[in-house]
Amino acid sequence: MIKHVRLIFLISTLLITSTVNSKEPQSCDYLEYVNEIIEDFAKEMKTKYDLRYYGSGGSMPTDVEEIEAMFISYHHMTVDEARKVEINAIQDLIRRINSHEKIRPYLREYPFHQDRVGVSISFRTKTDDRPFDGSVALVFLAKNKIFYKAAEMKMSASIPMTRIDENNKWTTEIKPGELRETLTSLHEETYEEALKIAGITPHPHQKQ
């Protein structure tokens, strides 16, 4: 009886190990394909717009649900200029994802739409600071809307701080505010509105 139990346990273990191992290459495959897409995309953005790629992300627990790419630009841009770069980058990324046949079985949905991709561009000066001249400091797509942010230096609010003094009594002191960098809303619009303003033809896979 003990031998039979051991044999059943051994067979079960082998079956489980075999199943797990058979899935591992597949689960790693789509991450490799995402890296291929992002790598080519980053090169194209560097060539076209001099964008410096610095990271990517998204949501890919068991399949490819969302893909995001982040860039830095050392160019001064107005809202109109940033809009064209952002829209063209989004459309380029969508095209690359949907034309990559190997990643297609792992996409949460095919075709992949603009509400599943994200491109953010952070604008910097030559000293690697954010621009404080009213130009775009950050542009990004979220929930089918494009947001444009400007950078400002603002004084934070004073904060009351309570402590026990040398006489073992509670006392309140006011901690003065500090000058801090903040991002404020410069402009926002839907993805569809941005396409029309920029005069760019929607990608065939854009969700209506």
User: What's the confidence (pLDDT) of residue 19?
Assistant: 33
Mean pLDDT across the chain, nearest whole number? 80
Closest-CA residue to 30 (of 6, 51, 61): 61
> Which of 60-64, 78-82, 105-109 comes out lowest in average pLDDT?
60-64
Taking the CA atoms of residue 15, residue 17, residue 19 and residue 24 in that order, the dihedral angle to the nearest 10 degrees is -170
Mean pLDDT of 97-111: 90
The CA distances from residue 118 to 97, 100, 173, in Å, are: 12, 18, 44
| pLDDT tens by residue, 169-190 | 777 777 765 667 788 999 999 9
User: What's the confidence (pLDDT) of residue 137?
Assistant: 96
Judge whether residue 18 has pLDDT over 70. Answer: no
Mean pLDDT of 71-79: 96
Judge whether residue 145 has pLDDT over 50. Answer: yes
The CA distances from residue 101 to 33, 55, 104, 158, in Å, are: 10, 24, 5, 56
Q: Where are the domains of the chain?
A: 28-198
**What's the pLDDT band for 200 if we cut at 50, 70, 90?**
confident
Q: Which sign, positive or negative, has the C-alpha torsion 63, 65, 71, 75?
A: positive
Tokens of 51: 């964008």
